[in-house]
Amino acid sequence: MTGEAKQPDGDSGPLDGITVLDASRVLVGPFCTMQLGDLGADVIKVERPGTGDQTRHWHPPRYGDADESAYYMSVNRNKRSVTLDLTAPEGRDVFRDLARDADVLVENFRVGKMEEWNLGYERLKEDNPGLVYCGLSGYGEWGPDKDRPAYDVMMQAEGGLMSITGEENGAPVRVGVAIADIGAGMYATQAVLAALFEREFGDGGGQKVDVSLLDGQVAWMSYMATNYFATGDSPGRMGSQHPTIVPYQAYETADGYVVVAVASEHIWPRFCEALDRPDLLADDRFETNPDRVEHRDALNAELRPEFAARPTDEFLTAFERHDVPASDVKDMEAVFESDQVQARGMRASVSHPTAGTVEMPGSPMHLSRTPTSVRQHPPRLGEHTAEVLHDHGYTDRQIDSLYEDGALGERFVDG
């Protein structure tokens, strides 16, 4: 035994053999289907002819000579792209054929649009009773706000996140990534996997999955919500501080910031030793975490000048020596240069026909026998239209006819 973890082997993820029909765009749906693709599913991305997923054009920045934005590249690996005009009867017929063979369908059109096209769950399950159909939307498929437009910044505001994010007495601040979209995409992935599991061990039937950005954001309020239920008082903004753990925040140093997490009573003595402040350990006001929460301002009045007097690295060295959880605040360059991040495969890359090597975050799902993988570059618009239709039984003559009718848009030309 070397003591080193065994690296995953094999080249098929746990969803190998599962087909996902992805009729989503922008972020919440593509993030969900990318995870399914990372897990081994064959993801068929259905896009509007001519323009495709809106995020293809959200640049700068972009990679090299590629037409697609870095944003699009971030959530569309491990997929095949098919252009299909769902406003045309012929396009909808093709979509129904693809859905007949799919295990999972993911869409994030406005509520009711798929039913308007006769592509809703009730219609598609007639041909494919085992279909797991995931509808993603801003507010969900029922309720007084179901028809309202929704964007991530609105959901962070309406779901409560912005009320607790930012400095005390300062303006509300959105989290720097579209966390409402990503959170709902994660819940959608969980729900789809649960529905596939139930189909396997139940009666073999599929079901409808309804996930909304607002529901996901509200669920993520977790202990902040229960703090409100317990007290009747809405939590406010506290910067990087924690409502029930002290010290647990970022402190400004002579050259940056250091983040500390004194998350147990066992860490508190080590923290005081690392700072060479035995007086804090002897102070009755700070003896226990509830005491430190009660006297937060007094403790911070002692700590802030202490941190401001020395550089970040000096504190990190002392905290590591005394086994105190701490970190500097890393930017993206520092994150992806990290030995730990690279050792875990979280800096991934894939070769792209026009962009060269495209780098992106790897999958955080590490399975020992059926590992995740980055197998396919984010597809160019319509790159796999003919290939996918051939896979589903269409002849060259039928495909040519669909191109002539405009149902598939313009024929993809490599180069």
User: What are the catalytic residues?
Assistant: 181
Task: For helices 312-321 and 267-274, give the axis angle rounded to 10 degrees.
Answer: 130
Find out whether 184 and 109 touch, Cβ atoms under 8 Å: no
Eight-state DSSP code of residue 198: H
Give the pair of three-digit tokens for residue 278: 């035995």
Find out whether 167 and 239 touch, Cβ atoms under 8 Å: yes
Q: How far apart are CA 146 and CA 212, in angstroms?
A: 10
Q: Are strands 132-137 and 104-107 parallel, antiparallel or unpaired?
A: parallel
Find out whether 86 and 93 touch, Cβ atoms under 8 Å: no
Question: In which order are the strands placed within the sheet that holds 248-252?
Answer: 248-252, 257-261, 326-328
* Block residue for tokens 């647990």: 248
Overall size of the chain counted in residues? 415
Give the pair of three-digit tokens for residue 399: 């495909």
Instruction: Name 191's Cβ contacts closer than 8 Å, sequence gap at least 6.
Output: 134, 209, 211
Q: How far apart are CA 132 and CA 120, in angstroms?
A: 12
* Block residue for tokens 């975050």: 361
Q: How far apart are CA 276 and CA 24, in angstroms?
A: 56
Find out whether 363 and 389 touch, Cβ atoms under 8 Å: no
Cα distances (Å, whole numbers) of residue 248 to 262, 265, 275: 6, 13, 15
Q: Single out the residue of 329, 272, 330 nearest to residue 306, CA to CA.
A: 272
Q: Other CB atoms closer than 10 Å to residue 301's CB: what's the count?
A: 10
